[in-house]
């Protein structure tokens, strides 16, 4: 019987694989050029100078300064205390209104002031164009500003999965090898505070403390800069209110769109009347509106407050009672700079409200009326059953920042600063910058049965050559996904390997009497690495037209550059990485 059709099918399949290999190799080459575009896009941002140690920045979500230092000062965060011994402890950093990760983080990492480039709420409209930004769009924009390797971390916040973040911290040394700035997100405190309350949130902070202890052991004295900050606070409330309902009722037919804290009107000329009516409602503490380009007026049940902008800064006046208590701090009505307001009021219940509100309403995206609720009131939502962060009080906006490292001069850092200046002005680093490593580590691994050499010509790229009793292969690999805990690669190349012929494969006349095929063929591969500190589980599958093969190994990488690897089922290899 003739097997010519099978041979032709195999040739066509090999050609297709070869074309796919060529395309993949081109993609590998392009991936090595992509960082250049990122350099051009961020050239205006401050770059770490040569010789600076890498930065690990730990983002602690939604923990107020008060809640954090209750634990810290009572000795219940021993590992954090030890890690930051001799560093700078800032108890009064202030997160800009509206306090929320979706609004803050893009400003934080891009270093920008208020503008139409940043969201003003989870949902809002552009008053100039009428375009609506949904919550989904805002969240997508948030994660687009984050490194790709952190995108699985929100899953770690789910109850019972926090240990995945602890596992992630064990792999920080591997990330610090490749990036100037590594960001780690502990989202669990936000979820716990919203749903379960303060005690549960503080328990989550203590859980993070234990994982930071493991991290410091894993680092083993290596030089790096360590920063821990909370992005905003969390307030706990006695009762829930529905400000959006109150906003819609006060505006009646004038409301274009309501989403806390913004009320957009069809005719902004009605803002004063509607703000006055809104402030009389039980749900709202303050209703602010613009009264000209340099004046913001706030209405509350005890009178009015006025924030006016002049050459020397923002001045504050009040009619009726002083709801913020600034007169008790010695303030007499003079204009102050943003930092001077912070210096004066950072220790008070209402940190720098004139700056908070005026700068917020400078954004063309903010509402015509901006409503504010403060604790003990809480925002009515489906998930915020215990806590929220929606107001102007210290529990919402005052957060801890801890810094230590060879490149951090604590003497040059104020005891209070605006949190959105952390990256650009305080640390002078660019989280969007390219990684510090120009390539991946090279590997050489050998045993009496096999030899493997992996050379990296550029970041995210490998050329591997493997020889063993089953044949040999040469593959080009590109990294397609990375998290703290895993990394995935795909590759293409050529292979000459012993494959077992299937029923559709060539006959013994073409493959030899044993039914084995040793021909040279195009090959595709997929590989996944799973990291646990210096331990690496490595799984690879290689596919050629005559069949497929798999390899599973576990290696231990020593800090000096040597390694030992066990290859399933019974092979032991030693090697070097450099």
Per residue, the 3-state secondary structure of 365-409, as one string, reads: CCCCEEEECCCCEEECCCCCCCEECCCCCHHHHEEEEEEECCCCC
Is 127 inside a domain boundary?
Answer: no
- Partnered with residue 303 across adjacent β-strands are 300, 320
Residue 47 lies in a domain: no
Query: What is the rounded distance in angstroms from the CA atom of residue 566 to the CA atom of residue 318?
Result: 74
pLDDT tens sequence across 358-390:
999 999 999 999 999 999 999 888 888 899 999
User: SS3 of 46, please?
Assistant: coil
Which residues fall within 8 angstroms of residue 378, CB to CB, at 6 or more apart?
235, 236, 237, 238, 239, 240, 241, 384, 387, 388, 390
Burial level of 74, CB count in 10 A (0-12/13-18/19+)?
exposed
Q: Residue 24 has what pLDDT?
A: 42
Residue for token pair 């790709």: 148
- In terms of domains, do 280 and 181 share one? no
Check whether residue 570 and residue 458 sit in a common domain: yes
Reduced to 3 states (helix: H, G, I; strand: E, B; else coil), residue 413 is coil
Q: How many CB atoms lie within 10 A of CB 368?
A: 25
Q: Which residue in the block uniquely carries the two structure tokens 């009080």?
A: 393
| Residue pair 572/447 in contact by the 8 Å Cβ criterion | yes
**Structural domain contains residue 132:** no
d(CA 72, CA 89): 11
Residue 283 lies in a domain: yes
Residues, the chain, total?
A: 578
Show the tokens assigned to 79. Answer: 């590992």
What is the chain's alpha carbon radius of gyration, rounded to the nearest angstrom? 29
Q: What is the mean pLDDT of residues 171-200?
A: 95
Q: Which residues contact 38 (CB under 8 A, 6 or more apart)?
A: 432, 433, 434
- In this structure, the number of other CB atoms found within 10 A of the CB of residue 44 comes to 9
Higher pLDDT, 436 or 100: 100
H/E element, 196: none
Q: Specify whether 300 is located in the same domain as 335.
A: yes
Q: Quick one: 364 and 398 in the same domain?
A: no
Among 238, 228, 213, CA closest to 68? 228
CA distances from 565 to 311, 444, 455, 468, 558 (A): 67, 11, 18, 15, 11
- Contact in structure between 214 and 170 (CB atoms under 8 Å): yes
Tell whether the model's pLDDT for residue 34 goes beyond 60: no
Of 332, 347, 374, the residue at which a domain comes to its end is 374
Coil, helix or strand for 160? coil
pTM: 0.87
Report if residue 382 sits inside a domain. no
95 near 229, Cβ under 8 Å? no
Whether residue 420 is found in the same domain as residue 492: no
Q: What's CA 122's distance to the chain center, in Å? A: 17
Do 81 and 171 lie in one domain? The reply is yes
Report the C-alpha gap between 183 and 306 in whole angstroms: 40
Residue entry with tokens 């920042």:
401
Closest Cα to residue 374, out of 404, 354, 350?
A: 350
Q: What is the pLDDT of residue 381?
A: 84
Residue 6 has what pLDDT?
54
Adjacent-strand bridge partners of 287 = 299, 371
Per-residue pLDDT for 193 more than 70? yes
Angle at 224 between CA 223 and CA 227, to 5 degrees: 150
Question: Within this chain, do residues 362 and 490 fall inside the same structural domain, yes or no?
Answer: no
Tell the burial category of 343 from Cβ atoms under 10 Å away from its Cβ (0-12, 13-18, 19+): middle
Say if residue 514's pLDDT is above 50: no
**Residues 318 and 458 occupy one common structural domain:** no
> Which pLDDT belongs to residue 510?
40
Contact 216, 226 (CB under 8 A): no
| Among candidate residues 411, 427, 443, the one where a domain is terminated | 427
Is 263:277 a contact under the CB 8 Å cutoff?
A: no
pLDDT at 303: 96
Angstrom CA distances, 365 to 127, 245, 261, stand at 7, 21, 12
How far is the C-alpha of 269 from the C-alpha of 254, rounded, in Å? 10
**Which residues have C-beta within 8 Å of that of residue 143, sequence separation ≥ 6?**
151
Range of the domain at 172: 52-112+146-237+391-427
Q: Reply yes or no on whether the pLDDT at 507 is more than 80.
A: no
**Do 559 and 473 share a structural domain?**
yes
Is 131 among the domain residues?
A: no
> Could you tell me if residue 43 is inside a domain?
no
**Percent of the chain clearing pLDDT 70 (strictly above):** 88
Residue 423 lies in a domain: yes
243/231 same-domain check? no
Q: Looking at the DSSP assignment, which residues form a beta bridge with residue 399?
A: 93
CA distance 123 to 132: 8
Domain count, the chain: 3
CATH number for the domain harbouring residue 162: 3.40.720.10
Average pLDDT over residues 212-220: 94
Neighbours of 149 (CB within 10 A): 22
Residues 547, 487 share a domain: yes
Query: pLDDT exceeding 90 applies to what percent of the chain?
Result: 78
- Three-state DSSP state, 204: helix
For residue 437, what are the contacts with CB-CB under 8 A and spacing of at least 6?
A: 177, 178, 179, 459
Q: What is the pLDDT of residues 383-440, one digit of tens each?
A: 888 999 999 999 999 999 999 999 999 999 999 999 999 999 999 999 988 788 899 9
Dist CA 257 CA 262 (whole Å): 8
Rounded distance between C-alpha atoms, residue 506 and residue 499, angstroms: 11
Q: What is the mean pLDDT of residues 464-468?
A: 94
- When pLDDT is cut at 50, 70 and 90, the band that residue 227 belongs to is very high
pLDDT band, residue 48 (cuts 50/70/90): very low
Per-residue model confidence (pLDDT) at position 39: 28
Mean pLDDT of 172-201: 95
Mean residue pLDDT of the chain comes to 88
Residue with tokens 């120009």: 438
Out of 83-92, 152-161, 232-241, 380-389, least confident range: 380-389
Same-domain check for residues 231 and 244? no
């Amino acid at each position: 019987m003739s097997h010519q059709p099978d041979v032709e099918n195999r040739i066509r399949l090999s050609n297709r694989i070869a074309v796919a290999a060529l395309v993949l190799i081109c993609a590998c080459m392009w991936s090595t050029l992509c960082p250049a575009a990122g350099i051009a896009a961020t050239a205006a941002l401050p770059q770490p100078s040569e010789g600076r140690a890498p930065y690990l920045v730990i983002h602690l979500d939604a923990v107020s300064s008060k809640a954090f230092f209750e634990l810290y000062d009572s000795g219940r965060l021993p590992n954090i205390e030890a890690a930051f011994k001799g560093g700078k402890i800032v108890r009064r950093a202030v997160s800009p209104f509206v306090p929320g990760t979706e609004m803050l983080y893009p400003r934080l990492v891009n270093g920008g002031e208020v503008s139409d480039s940043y969201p003003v709420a989870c949902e809002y409209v552009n008053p100039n164009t009428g375009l609506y930004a949904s919550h989904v769009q805002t969240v997508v924009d948030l994660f687009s500003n984050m490194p790709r390797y952190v995108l699985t971390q929100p899953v770690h916040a789910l109850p019972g999965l926090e240990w995945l973040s602890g596992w992630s911290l064990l792999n920080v040394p591997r990330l610090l090898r490749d990036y100037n700035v590594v960001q780690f997100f502990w989202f669990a405190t936000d979820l716990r505070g919203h749903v379960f309350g303060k005690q549960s949130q503080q328990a989550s902070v203590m859980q993070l403390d234990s994982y930071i202890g493991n991290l410091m052991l894993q680092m083993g004295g290596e030089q790096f800069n360590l920063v821990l900050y909370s992005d905003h606070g969390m307030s706990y409330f006695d009762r829930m209110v529905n400000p959006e309902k109150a906003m819609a009722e006060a505006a009646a037919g004038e409301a274009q769109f309501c989403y806390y804290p913004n009320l957009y009107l069809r005719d902004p000329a009605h803002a004063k009347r509607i703000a006055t009516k809104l402030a009389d409602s039980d749900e709202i503490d303050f209703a602010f509106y613009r009264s000209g380009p340099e004046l913001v007026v706030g209405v509350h049940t005890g009178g009015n407050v006025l924030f006016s902008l002049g050459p020397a800064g923002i001045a504050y006046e009040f009619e009726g009672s002083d709801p913020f208590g600034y007169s008790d701090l010695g303030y007499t009505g003079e204009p102050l700079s943003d930092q001077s307001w912070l210096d004066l009021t950072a220790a008070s219940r209402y940190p720098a409200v004139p700056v908070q509100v005026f700068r917020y309403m400078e954004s063309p995206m903010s509402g015509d009326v901006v409503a504010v609720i403060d604790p003990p009131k809480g925002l009515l939502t489906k998930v915020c059953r215990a806590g929220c962060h929606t107001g102007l009080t210290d529990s919402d906006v005052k957060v801890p920042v801890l810094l230590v490292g060879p490149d951090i001069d604590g003497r040059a850092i104020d005891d209070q600063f605006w949190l959105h200046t952390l990256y650009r002005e305080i640390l002078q680093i660019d989280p969007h910058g390219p990684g510090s490593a120009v390539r991946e580590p090279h590997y050489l691994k050998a045993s009496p049965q096999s030899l493997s050499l992996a050379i990296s010509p550029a970041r995210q790229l490998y050329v591997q050559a493997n020889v063993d009793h089953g044949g040999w292969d040469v593959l080009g690999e590109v990294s397609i996904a990375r998290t703290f805990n895993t990394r995935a690669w795909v590759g293409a190349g050529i292979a000459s390997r012993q494959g077992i012929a299937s029923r559709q494969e060539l006959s013994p006349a073409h493959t030899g009497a044993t039914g084995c095929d040793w021909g040279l063929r195009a090959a595709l591969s997929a590989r996944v690495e799973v990291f646990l500190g210096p331990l690496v589980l490595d799984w690879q599958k290689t596919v050629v037209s005559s069949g497929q093969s798999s390899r599973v190994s576990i290696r231990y990488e020593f800090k000096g550059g040597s390694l030992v690897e066990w290859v399933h089922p019974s092979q032991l290899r030693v090697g070097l990485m450099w």
